[in-house]
Structure formats: C-alpha cells, structure tokens
Amino acid sequence: MISLQDMIKEALGNNIIKIEDNKGYIDVVVPLEKLKESAIKVKQLGFDHVKSVTAVDYIQKKQFMVTYHISSYLNEELSRHVLGLSTFIDRDNPHIPSLATIWTSAEFQEREVYEFFGIIFDGHPDLRLLLLTPVVAALKPLRKDFVVKEDSINIEVDYAAYNATKWW
Amino acid sequence: MEAGTASSGSGIHLPGMEIAKASKNRYEVMIGPAHPGSGHMRIFVEVDGDIMVKVDPDIGFVHRTMEKLAEGREWIQNIPLFERIAILDACNITLPYVRAVEKLLGIEAPERARYLRTLLCEINRVASHLYGMGIFGVFLGHSTLYMWAFGDREVFIDLAERLTGARLTHTYPVFGGVRRDIPDDFPEDARKATRYMRKRLNEYAKIFLNNPNIRSRLENVGVLTKNQAAELGLVGPNIRASGIRYDVRLNEPYEAYGDVDFEIPVFEEGDSLARAWARVEEVRQSLNIIDQVVTWLEKHPRENFMHEKFWKTAPKLYKDVYEGKISYSPKYRIKLMPIFASLKVPPGKSFARVEAGRGEIVYYVESNGDIFPYRVRVVSPSFRNVIAFKYVMPGHRLMDLPAIYGSFDYFPPAFDR
C-alpha cells in the first residue's frame, strides 16, 4: 500500500517546493507557474472537488498564500484525506491562474477570494463580485491592512462646539 | 433591469417580483430578495416562455463579515460568533472550529465529552432537517407539513435547552470538552422524544412524500447524476440522494461516531424527491444515535466532561456543583474557566471538517501564537450548495424553481456568514 504522500510526490515530481503533513490536511506547496499543471495532475489522481479556496495575507513578507483544499467523493480511499494545494503570490501584483475550469466547484469560492482580497483569477469564466457591494469590495476587507474601526464605549462629545451652535 | 410598472407597459410588476425584457422572447425575472420563497437572497432568472434558460443566484444580503471579525476576537469569543452562521444547527456549526483549535493545542476531549457532543449534534441535525422540511412544504403550498415540522422541531429544541440551557445558540462545545453534563432526568425525556418522532416520521411520509400532488411536483425534477454532484462539489443529503456514499461521520469519524451504530441512507435517483427522502431517513438514523448515546451516558459515571488541563483551573463553585457537593441553584452564576480568556494557541495551520445538518462544514484555522487567530476560513454547507442553482435549474419550468430550491435545503444566512 503506497502512502498518499508518496503518490503525490510521484505524480507531481519536481513541481513540489514543500510537502508537509499539517494538522488535518496534507499541504503541498507548488510554484505559481506550475499551479495549473499540478492541479490537472492531482485531478487525474481522483481528487474531484474543491472544499475551500482560502487566501492568507502575509503582510510582512508581502505575499498572499492561496490554498485549495481538495478531496474526493467518488474514490472512497481518497475521501478520508484532504489535500491542500498552495502557492505563494506577490502581494503587489496579485494574479493567479483560475482553477475553476478544472474544478467547477471552485467557481464561487474564487469569486469570494477575488472580492475579499483583490486577487485576480486569470481565466475565470465569470469573475464578478459575489457577496459585497462594489464600494466595500474596493477596500479589500480581508487584507491585513484593512483595520476594523471599533466604536469606543465612551461617547466623546465636544461640548464647546456643541454649545456654540445653541443660542444660549 | 429597471423595474417596470403595470401602467407604463414596459414590464410587469408583481409583489416581490420584477420582470424585465432581456432580449427577444427572453425575459429576466428577479425572485427576491423580499420574496416569500427566496429567503434572504435574490435569484436572477432568464426565461424563454416559462422555461428557465439562465439562473444566477445573487447572494450576500445577510453577510456579517465573520471571517474578518474572527481576526479581532479571542479564541473562545469566536465560538458564539460562528454560531450565528446557522443558529438552528449551532453545535454542528461550531464543532469543527473547536476541533481545529484543539488540534493546534494538541489536546483531545475526554470520552464523556465526545459522547455529549455527539448527542447535541444529532439533536441539532433532527431540528435542522425538520426546519428544512417545513420550509420545503410551504414552498410547495403544503402548509400542513410546515406546521407539523415546526411543531415537532420544538420537541428537539426543548431537549437542547434541557441539555445546554439555551434553545438555539448553545455554545456547548468549548476547547477541551463541553460546558456541562446532562441533567439527571434527561435520558428519559430523550427517549420519549425519539419514540414520538419515529411515529411522526411515518405520518410525514403519508401526508407529504407519498402524497400524489407532491410527488408529481418532485419526481424527476432537478435530477443530478452522481458525477455532476461530485463535479459541483455539493454536500450533505444532496449528494447522498445522487448515489455518492460520502459522510464525514463515516469517512473520517470524529467524536463518538466511530463507536455508535448507524447507517448512511444513499439514494440513486438524484431528484428532488430523493433529496427529501434522504432527510427523512437521516432523521431516523439520528434518532437511533440519540438513543445509543443516551444509554451510554447513563451507564457511565458523571465525570470528566472537560479536559484535565482546563478543569484544574475551574472556579471552586463550578467544581463543587459538578461533583455534587452542593446542589445547583439559579442564584449561582457559574462561569467558564478563566484560562480561556487569555488562551494562546501555538502557531500552526489546521483543518477540520464535520457533517452538519445541511452537509459538510469545513474550517481552516491559522495561528501565529497570539491571543487572536491569524486567519479563520469557514466554508458552510450552503456555500457549497448554492452553485447547484446555476447549473441544475436551467431547462426546468419556472414553476419548478421552488421545488428545486427547497429540495437543496438552502439557508441564506449560512452562505453569507
């Protein structure tokens, strides 16, 4: 019985930068230009759907990490495992090839990452905003430099300015 | 897409529906967001005659920025936050988050806590399916089923209240265990509820699923083949109705699911009726699980529902009440362990999945060792089901829209998060 890690190593060959057994999934990091090629190879192994498309903002390294969590429905052996196909992209030029043409299930998820991080998925069949309005999406809310302003519990009132508006 | 009025003649205005001409012989119909059958979402439908040719779900009306909010809250505060994804399925929805954080902490809940979590998960699953069936009934104009299902759901919500103290947002599973143990007379109530529900399920089949009116609207409508369902990445009873044998409880058993005995109902037809049947059969299995878990809990001593690491920091009052030294009285305000407030989670990445009522829910949690999470990604079951509307509905009549919509048990707040 060949282990899943070996199977993936054999299929992807030297495309892999790093492969590690994380908690709950196996993370495979591939370079950006090999992402699409690797995805096609992984799909041929039997990983037939995308569970989640995630981006993480590493603001100090000026990078985004994009992870596709994929698994299988039709192959019962593979369905026990979750594979993370990750790649790092430049934060100032966030372009990544879309995998929605390979896995239809990634279509809506890529649209969501697009609006929350401003990452552009090249070749996506229908890249539009999904949840947010154009005004909010322009702020790219899930990036780390977007800080949520919280209201203070103390109401700050400028009494001088307030009194100046009154006749007394 | 401008709203026409009846007087101008450029379009037709109906309450809750706007119709505009898209091209020759094609009209765009907007269903929602204030339509009684759409929930908090809008569906753009392009119709040719009354055949849908293009369907575009427009969602996000109840988006609450949960992933962003989670980055500014302590680990424990995120549990009540994520519950709001789908309050009627609160235990299933928050459990993968708790499990993902437990993986990072390197702890595992004690055995009794695992059974208690399983118990509430199944109670939630029954309540969630009954809710879905009730809404499905009212979509098809079958208001009796709606009344029945919502009435019977109350039984299970009461059970959850007996167990946790809250009807809907229980915050029951916490890191390392659960918040409290079962009351002494709980097993008897649970058995009474399951006995009642088994009897009712047969009546549901009689009045709804075997009703000729309903069957004629559901049979061979919205058919999904096995490969299509896998390609679209749908979840839950929807794929099991299309012949895919996938359930996280089976494929990657968590909590006590490895030890209890249950079956996964799988149907081959893949139509709306099969999806409705899948839910009814799942309720039956859940009732079996509740019975088994309650029996297990009765047989075993009431101890260790919280991991030792956290339990030893519990306030004295908390311990005394649970060890039976003093009897509980409502005047006590029993709080959680203070260690949770300053909990720091070791750096790392983790991923957890759980079978919620509507399907699989997954969390990706990343920590950099701070008191806040660095990134939390939630993919709720409805998020993965909504894509079906775009690909399954075209080709059907507009009349079939509620029959397909309802059969997927789609819940907009769960999508929008």
B304: left (phi over 0), alpha (psi -120 to 50) or beta: left
pLDDT band for position B13 (cuts 50, 70, 90): low
Work out the widest C-alpha separation in chain A, in whole angstroms: 88
Cβ contacts of A80 on chain B, cutoff 8 Å: 251-252
pLDDT averaged over every residue in chain A = 84
Among A50, A79, A131, the residue with its CB nearest the CB of B233 is A50
Among B68, B245, B251, the residue with its CB nearest the CB of A141 is B68
Strand B12-14 to B17-23 pairing: antiparallel
Interface contact A51-B379, CB threshold 8 A: yes
Task: Tally A–B CB contacts below 8 A.
Answer: 101
For A71-120, write each residue's pLDDT tens digit.
Answer: 888 888 888 888 888 999 988 888 899 888 888 888 888 988 998 888 98
Top residue of A29, A54, A61 to mutate, by most chain B CBs within 10 Å, is: A54
Ranges A46-55, A157-166, B57-66, B180-189, most confident: A46-55
The average pLDDT across B144-149 equals: 89
Mean pLDDT is lowest, of A84-93, A147-156, B143-152, B315-324, for A147-156
Question: Bigger pLDDT: B335 or B395?
Answer: B395
Class of domain A4-147: alpha beta
The average pLDDT across A21-44 equals: 86
Q: For residue B2, with 0-12 CB atoms within 10 Å meaning exposed, 13-18 middle and 19 or more buried, which class applies?
A: exposed
pLDDT for residue B7: 39
First to last CA, chain A: 88
Q: How far apart are CA B203 and CA B8, in angstroms?
A: 50
pLDDT for residue B363: 92
Interface contact A84-B351, CB threshold 8 A: yes
- Block residue for tokens 């009873």: B237
Strand A83-90 to A26-29 pairing: parallel
pLDDT for residue B126: 92
- Block residue for tokens 């909590």: B255
Interface contact B348-A23, CB threshold 8 A: yes
Cβ contacts of A23 on chain B, cutoff 8 Å: 100, 103-104, 348-351
For B190-203, write each residue's pLDDT tens digit.
Answer: 999 999 999 888 88
Q: How far apart are CA A29 and CA A86, in angstroms?
A: 5
Contact B100, B377 (CB under 8 A): no
Q: Is the dihedral of CA A6, A12, A13, A19 positive or negative?
A: negative
Rounded to a whole number of angstroms, the distance from the CA of B164 to the nearest CA of chain A is: 29
- Percentage of the residues of chain A whose pLDDT score is greater than 70: 94
Give CA angle at B387 (B381, B393), nearest 5°.
125
Cβ contacts of A150 on chain B, cutoff 8 Å: 72
pLDDT for residue A155: 67
Contact B218, B271 (CB under 8 A): yes
Give the closest residue to B260 by CA, choosing from B299, B237, B298, B286.
B286
Instruction: Please compute Rg for chain A using Cα positions.
Output: 22
Which residues of A, range 13-42, sit inside 8 Å of B by Cβ? 22-25, 27
pLDDT for residue B3: 41
Q: Does A137 touch chain B (CB under 8 A)?
A: no
Contact B226, B274 (CB under 8 A): no
Q: Is the dihedral of CA B176, B182, B188, B194 positive or negative?
A: negative
DSSP per-residue codes, B45-103:
EEEETTEEEEEEEE--TT---HHHHHTTS-TTTHHHHHHTT-GGGHHHHHHHHHHHHHH
For B260-288, write each residue's pLDDT tens digit.
Answer: 888 888 888 888 888 888 888 899 999 99
Interface contact B364-A54, CB threshold 8 A: yes
Task: Give the bridge partners for A121, in sequence order.
Answer: A96
Q: For residue B83, with 0-12 CB atoms within 10 Å meaning exposed, 13-18 middle and 19 or more buried, which class applies?
A: buried
**Separation of CA B44 from chain center:** 25
pLDDT averaged over every residue in chain B = 83
pLDDT for residue B44: 84
Strand A18-21 to B51-58 pairing: unpaired
pLDDT band for position B123 (cuts 50, 70, 90): very high
Rounded to a whole number of angstroms, the distance from the CA of B70 to the nearest CA of chain A is: 11
Is the pLDDT at B357 greater than 60? The verdict is: yes
Which DSSP category does A98 fall into? -
Contact A69, A52 (CB under 8 A): yes
Which domains are assigned to chain B? 1-61+387-399 (no CATH), 66-385 (1.10.645.10)
DSSP per-residue codes, A100-157:
TTT-GGGHHHHHHHHHHH--EEET-TT----SS-HHHHTT-TTSTT-------SSPP-
Q: Which residue of A lies nearest to B416 if distances are taken between CA atoms?
A: A131
Give the closest residue to A58 by CA, choosing from B210, B209, B347, B310.
B347
What would the two tokens of residue A72 be?
Answer: 């299988």
